[in-house]
Amino acid sequence: MNVRSKFLKALKHPIRASTLVIRRIKLSLSWLTILVVAKLGGTTVEIGKGVRFYQKTRITGKGSVVIGNNTTFGIPAGGRFKSTYCELQARYKDARIKIGENVAINNGLTIISAASVEIGDDTLIGRELQISDHDGHGILPDERRVSKGKLKPVTIGKNVWIGNNVTILKGSVIGDNCIIGACSVVTGKCFAENTVLAGNPAKEISSLIRNA
């Protein structure tokens, strides 16, 4: 649709057109606010084209965050839209969070990275996913206030479907096309592509590959 056609359509539906304009302005301001706050806090941020922040999103930390083209944060109809927010925290200087292209993220996402968290293209993320690539504290009693614990990258492949209220812990590797059932806790294991996994701790339930 060319500019003239869009203008004529807007004249026929002025209320709808003004609503869309206001919505786009709000999204642009949200995007700009997130970027400015992140950079003021010391985070290196790279945001691709067409990224949309429908839910309030915080990007913090001293590391780097990369968000691929056409990724969306938050869904108004997804539940707990107003009572939660998304947070990407690349906590330390060497920490890195990379989210691929066309990733659809429901409400309440939390990623806290001390090493590396990577999410592949076209992944679908349910409500209140939590990802951490480190323990957060030392295991031994005398280390709990002086150590961040063990670190190990988290890698999520392409076209993965993650259900609501999932927790993914350090060292987890999720192959392409996998499905993770709601409320699962992935405890640092590696799962091959096309696997359906669920439970606490998560384990393989079935395969998406049918036997010939």
Active site residues: 137
Strands 130-132 and 110-113 come out as parallel
CA–CA separation, 70 vs 114, rounded Å?
26
CA–CA separation, 123 vs 114, rounded Å?
22
Q: How many CB atoms lie within 10 A of CB 18?
A: 11
Please tell me whether residue 183 adopts helix, strand or coil conformation: coil
Contact 99, 147 (CB under 8 A): no
Nearest to 130 by CA among 184, 79, 201: 184
Handedness of CA 115, 171, 210, 199 (dihedral sign): negative
Which tokens sit at 22?
């206001």
Burial 41-80 (b: 16+ CB within 10 A, else e): eebbbebeeebebbbbbebbbebbbbbbebbbbbbeebee
